[in-house]
């Protein structure tokens, strides 16, 4: 490709992340300009974003204060639904559930605390301009703003993903330029399916690193000559998967390399990475197929297809509340509750983390960190080996 063909008119987070995730998808989308065919998750996400944008823009523009209206949410969802050509009563119900929970979670909305909705920014990054739109920016106090990005992902992000997200870093730099009075910028992924806020912040050094990384990626997009396919767990949602030979081969389980000497560690690692990439793509495809079967199993008890019987069943997990369990056991065994608690009792880490997080709202960070360290000193630790693999440059 000629340098002219590779030149970016501008950069955006979506452009950068598409290149980073799969250079071939970038080529299809931005260079070959093939028609994208977004799957259901992408169109669903766009419809929810559009509905939330309209609802919050109306609060801002009409200077409203009070709870958001469920009736209005239904109206704007209908418009977004049609625009994205979505179908299916279950998907519609899920969209409505998300909007209703958003309304409940936001309670009384005050237009004075919303600084911007779908705020456009243009950020100079080296020789590039990064163009983007921030879903929402809220006023928190006289020195703090909150940058909010709505996400419709099924899975929550890991702490590492939130703390290193390039998107949030770019938004933080843009927000600092747009609202220079803000000394602090809170960054939040609002996971609307779960009603969970995944929050983080950035130091100046982290922001400088993120900008340098964005510039590096931007330069790469203009200088590379190869755009290899990078199979990943999102291939089944890729809007260019129909054009992608690597995905077609992966679905057929086609392999390129098989190591015939297990003493050759380079070859072992090479095959392991190929299998891992294929496995990700195939596992995602299996989930996609299972979702179709599960939808049908909502309307009938079982399906028998190709000699296989498919059913849904519920699994039960038990949690024993401490006091009543100890009381029953103490009576049955004649032992004291203290003795039994010592033998059987332990506190669930998730519950403890939640309590520490709650305490973090009233105590300062160093005190909570100290308390956590003190508690961890009492914890019984078990170690189990885990395999870890991460691409290095």
The footprint of ligand SF4 (CB under 6 A) covers 22, 24-25, 229-231, 235, 238, 240-241, 244, 246-247
Shortest separation between residue 42's beta carbon and ligand SF4, angstroms: 12
Is beta strand 308-311 parallel, antiparallel or unpaired with respect to 302-305? antiparallel
Strand order in the sheet with 196-200: 114-125, 128-141, 144-151, 184-191, 196-200
Nearer to ligand SF4 (CB atom), residue 26 or residue 81: 26
Residue entry with tokens 């086609």: 254
Q: Which residues of 271-283 are buried (b: 16+ CB within 10 A; e: fewer)?
A: beebeebbebbbe
CB of 251 to ligand SF4, least distance (A): 10
Closest to ligand SF4 by CB, 28 vs 81, is 28
Interatomic CA distance for residues 148 and 185, integer angstroms: 10
Q: What residues does 191 pair with on adjacent strands?
A: 151, 196
Token look-up 């080296």 returns: 126
Nearer to ligand SF4, 29 or 186 (CB): 29
Angle between helix 204-223 and 13-21 (nearest 10): 70
User: Containing H/E element for 198?
Assistant: strand 196-200
Measure the CA–CA gap between 44 and 347, rounded to whole angstroms.
39
DSSP single-letter state for residue 74: H
Which residue lies nearer to ligand SF4 by CB, 26 or 121? 26
- Nearest approach, Cβ of residue 240 and ligand SF4 (Å): 5
- Planar angle of CA 20, 23, 26, nearest 5 degrees: 95
d(CA 251, CA 385): 32
Sequence-separated (6 or more) residues with CB below 8 Å from residue 15: 8, 26, 30, 221
Minimum Å gap between C-beta 345 and ligand SF4 is: 48
Minimum CB distance to ligand SF4 smaller for 189 or for 247: 247
> Based on CB atoms, which residue is closest to ligand SF4, 81 or 247?
247
- Per the DSSP assignment, residues forming a β-bridge with 308 are 305
Nearer to ligand SF4, 22 or 190 (CB): 22
With b for 16 or more beta-carbon neighbours within 10 A and e for fewer, the 49-76 pattern comes to: bbbbbbbbbbbbeeeeeeebeeeebeeb
For the chain, helix, strand, coil in percent to 5 are 55, 15, 30
Q: How far is the CB of 166 from ligand SF4 (least distance, A)?
A: 18
Which lies closer to ligand SF4 via its Cβ, residue 146 or residue 239?
239
**Two structure tokens written together for 110:** 């005050």
Query: CB of residue 247 vs ligand SF4: minimum separation in angstroms?
Result: 4
Shortest distance, position 229 Cβ to ligand SF4, whole Å: 4
Nearer to ligand SF4, 49 or 240 (CB): 240
| Shortest Å distance, C-beta 241 to ligand SF4 | 4
- Shortest separation between residue 192's beta carbon and ligand SF4, angstroms: 24
The distance of closest approach from Cβ of residue 21 to ligand SF4 in the complex, given in angstroms and rounded to an integer, is: 6
DSSP state of 31: I
CA 83-108-63 angle, 5° bins = 70
- 94 vs 249, which CB is nearer to ligand SF4? 249
Which tokens hold the place of 138? 């809220």
Spatial separation of the C-alpha atoms in residues 70 and 148, rounded to whole Å: 21
């Amino acid at each position: 490709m000629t340098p002219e063909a590779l030149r970016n008119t501008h950069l955006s987070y979506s452009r950068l992340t598409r290149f980073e995730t799969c250079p071939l998808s970038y080529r299809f989308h931005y260079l070959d300009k093939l028609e994208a065919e977004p799957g259901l998750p992408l169109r669903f996400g766009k419809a929810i974003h559009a509905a939330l944008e309209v609802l919050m823009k109306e609060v801002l523009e009409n200077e409203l204060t009070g709870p958001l209206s469920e009736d209005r949410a239904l109206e704007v969802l209908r418009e977004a639904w049609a625009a994205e050509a979505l179908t299916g009563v279950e998907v519609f119900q899920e969209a409505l559930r998300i909007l209703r929970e958003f309304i409940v979670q936001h309670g009384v909305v005050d237009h004075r605390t919303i600084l911007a909705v779908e705020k456009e920014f243009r950020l100079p990054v080296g020789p590039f301009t990064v163009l983007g739109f921030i879903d929402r920016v809220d006023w928190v106090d006289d020195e703090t703003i909150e940058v909010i990005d709505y996400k419709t992902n099924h899975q929550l992000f890991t702490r590492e993903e939130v703390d290193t997200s390039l998107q949030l870093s770019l938004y933080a730099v843009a927000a600092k330029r747009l609202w220079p009075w803000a000394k602090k910028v809170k960054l939040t992924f609002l996971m609307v399916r779960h009603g969970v806020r995944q929050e983080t912040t950035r130091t100046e050094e982290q922001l400088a690193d993120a900008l340098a990384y964005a510039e590096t990626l931007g330069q790469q997009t203009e200088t590379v000559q190869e755009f290899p396919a990078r199979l990943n767990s999102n291939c089944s949602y890729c809007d260019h998967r129909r054009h992608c030979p690597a995905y077609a081969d992966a679905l057929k389980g086609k392999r390129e390399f098989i190591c015939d000497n297990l003493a050759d560690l380079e070859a072992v690692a090479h095959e392991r990475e190929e299998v891992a990439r294929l496995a990700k793509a195939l596992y995602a495809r299996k989930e996609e197929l299972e979702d179709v079967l599960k939808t049908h199993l909502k309307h009938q008890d079982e399906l028998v297809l190709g000699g296989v019987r498919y059913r849904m069943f519920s699994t039960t997990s038990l949690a024993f509340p401490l006091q009543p369990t100890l009381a029953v056991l103490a009576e049955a065994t004649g032992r004291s509750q203290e003795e039994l608690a010592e033998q059987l009792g332990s506190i669930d880490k998730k519950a403890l983390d939640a309590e520490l997080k709650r305490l973090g709202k009233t105590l300062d960070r160093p005190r909570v960190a100290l308390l956590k360290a003190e508690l961890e000193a009492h914890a019984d630790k078990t170690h189990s080996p885990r395999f870890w693999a991460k691409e290095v440059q």
